């Protein structure tokens, strides 16, 4: 059974940093596409970053390129999202998501996701 547990969210000032973690169980990271999407109140889901299952390549939304970095520790079956230079518009609930079939181009439609972790960027 696929389980994803996110942690690391919180309140941070603009320009600050946070690192989100996603502990995965019930499957092995190597074989699944896995990434992060976010959803702010009243807005649609936005794919943020993703590891492709085919070749391990990474995807970033234009809005976070150069500021966010996705990484993973296969030994710990954990994926991370390092978020730097945070902006108020990054405020959202961040979800870790995975899928056995879909690719990173449809990250927001992945079939399994965790409970989410709140990130609030405010002074």
- Nearest by Cα to 83 from 13, 3, 23: 13
What number of other Cβ atoms are within 10 A of residue 104's Cβ? 21
Q: For all residues of the chain together, what is the average pLDDT?
A: 94
Tens of pLDDT, residue by residue over 90-116, are 999 999 999 988 888 889 899 899 999
What number of other Cβ atoms are within 10 A of residue 110's Cβ? 25
Per-residue confidence (pLDDT) for residue 85, from 0 to 100: 98
Roughly how many angstroms between the first and final C-alpha of the chain, as a whole number?
40
What number of other Cβ atoms are within 10 A of residue 16's Cβ? 14
Per-residue confidence (pLDDT) for residue 100, from 0 to 100: 86
Strands, E, within the chain: which ranges? 3-7, 10-12, 18-25, 33-39, 46-51, 58-60, 68-73, 78-83, 92-99, 112-113, 117-121
Per-residue confidence (pLDDT) for residue 58, from 0 to 100: 93
Per-residue confidence (pLDDT) for residue 29, from 0 to 100: 81
What would the two tokens of residue 36 be?
Answer: 């992060």
Do the Cβ atoms of 81 and 119 come closer than 8 Å? no
- At 58, phi and psi to the nearest 5? -115, 150
What would the two tokens of residue 31 be?
Answer: 């074989």
Q: Which of 27 and 22 is assigned the larger pLDDT?
A: 22
Q: Which of 56 and 91 is assigned the larger pLDDT?
A: 91
């Amino acid at each position: 059974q696929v389980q994803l547990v996110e942690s690391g969210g919180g309140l941070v000032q603009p320009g600050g940093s946070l690192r989100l973690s996603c502990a995965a169980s019930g499957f092995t990271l190597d074989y699944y596409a896995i990434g992060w999407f976010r959803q702010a109140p009243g807005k649609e889901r936005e794919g943020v970053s993703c590891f492709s299952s085919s070749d391990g390549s990474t995807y970033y939304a234009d809005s976070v390129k150069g500021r966010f970095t996705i990484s993973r520790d296969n030994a710990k079956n954990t994926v991370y999202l390092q978020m730097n230079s945070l902006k108020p518009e990054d405020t959202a609930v961040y979800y870790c998501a995975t899928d056995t079939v879909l690719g990173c181009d449809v990250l927001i439609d992945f079939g399994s996701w965790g409970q989410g972790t709140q990130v609030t960027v405010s002074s």
